[in-house]
Amino acid sequence: MNTLLLDSDDVDEYALLADVIDAVEGAFGAFERGDTQMPAKSYIDLPQYNGDFRSMPAYLDTGEWDAAGLKWVNVHPDNPEDHDLPTVLGTMIYSDPETAFPLAIMDGTTLTMKRTGAAAAVATDYLAVEDASSLGLVGAGVQSYMQLEAISQIRPIEEVVVSDLDEDRVEHFVETYDDQFDVRGGSISEAGSCDVLSTVTPVEDPIVGLEDVGEHTHINAIGADAEGKHELADAVLEAARIVIDDHEQCTHSGEINVPYGEDVLTDADIHGEIGELVVGAKDGRTDETGITVFDSTGLAIQDVAAAHVVYKQASTDGAGHPFDMIGVGES
């Protein structure tokens, strides 16, 4: 038996977005049914290196397949300047739940990008208007590309408006997609008036106001991933049907963490978790629904679900680098 080593190119090729979206949707459903185990993310703080490690283990059973794994990820802000390395580096260990055999070790950074886009796509499918054809993006970093790639899988996106303070980023984004979509740079209000809006910035002072958003816009709030981060004005959240991925994470470090901590929002203002929509326990968008917000913090079950897709596709295709890591001999 061999363990499969899969680099970032392998993960990019075999994390087929349509399949990852389906797998992440299945993971959300399993979470709601209680068919997952997902201990809280644990941290190792390394102030002497201005960084930290986070471990994210999970197991899930969708009914059709089960899977287990661990993502080991860091945040070292000095890496780009001091070491010519990315700020965030992720490694995913994907294991057989029955035997604990390490089926694969794969790049977790690209995997995270894919599963984050997939989660937004799942939420968009349940919360955006059926004929949504325009997508706004606030922030033109790497995740903005994945938002477009994933959301266009489940809605007929034709028009894209991207807003960023960095004009070079906007120009690069437009050039990347100008042969596939009607894409242009624009203001936050122009992006916010689209049928779907994804915000992918690290800001702590809200930059999207209620006046910037259409009456029926669905918003994927992606950027807030730590306490104090906050992209959407309180008025937007107060007006919206709010759906979260996990109560503990979202109230601590998601888009709602600041207004929730200040009692501007309470549990009564949260419509439900995305898993409740997936299993049909709560409605997504109805005819009466106006603005909707999905607060996405990212769950370890999403990583395991995406890794399941990558391993299944890559092993079928004979990709990656197999090696006998634990010395049981080649199959």
Q: Which residues are catalytic?
A: 71
Q: Are 212 and 193 in contact (CB under 8 A)?
A: yes
- CA-based angle 225:207:154, to the nearest 5? 65
Which pair of structure tokens corresponds to residue 226?
């730590």
- CA-based angle 140:146:241, to the nearest 5? 85
Give the torsion through C-alpha atoms of 62, 66, 67, 68, to 10 deg: 90
Give me the amino acid identity at 91: T
| DSSP letters for 203-246 | -SS--B-GGGS-TT-EEEE-S--STT---B-HHHHHHSEEEES-
Q: In angstroms, rounded to a whole number, what is the distance separating the alpha carbons of residues 208 and 221?
A: 11
Give the H or E element holding residue 192.
Answer: helix 188-192
Q: Are 274 and 160 in contact (CB under 8 A)?
A: no
Q: In angstroms, rounded to a whole number, what is the distance separating the alpha carbons of residues 221 and 192?
A: 12
Strands 196-199 and 134-138: parallel
